[in-house]
Amino acid sequence: MSHRTYTLDQAAGLLNLGRNTLARRLREVGVLGADNLPAGPYRGRVHLVIVATGTYRHPIAGWTHYGRTEFTDAGLDHIAQKLGIELARLPHPSSRQAAPQPQHARS
């Protein structure tokens, strides 16, 4: 099952921070390492943080591998809590009341 994920740029926007500020604060609390990839305790915790990998063609170095940190919904909640940032919560779909249907008069 695939999860919706957020790049560092997207997560920063949702947390009302700049990308560099978010990355710095996550490094300070031990979520990210110096390379902006998950630090030790967060490696392999795919319900919070994943690393998207790929390759691209660099004009000088040729084919180069990269890793990009992405946060799941649970990961975004976790880092917001860890950084002391309040996130607006949407009600869980099962807790929403159905909208009342209008009653039509019978003739």
- Around Cβ 63, how many Cβ atoms within 10 Å? 8
What is residue 91's predicted lDDT score, i.e. its pLDDT? 58
Query: What is the per-residue DSSP string for 53-70?
Result: EEEEEETTTEEEEEEEEE
Residue bearing tokens 């919904």 = 73
Residue 89: per-residue pLDDT:
64
Domain ranges of the chain: 5-88
Question: Residue 18 pLDDT more than 60?
Answer: yes
Q: pTM higher than 0.85, yes or no?
A: no
Question: Per residue in 37-95, pLDDT tens?
Answer: 999 889 888 899 999 999 999 999 999 999 999 999 999 999 999 999 887 665 555 65
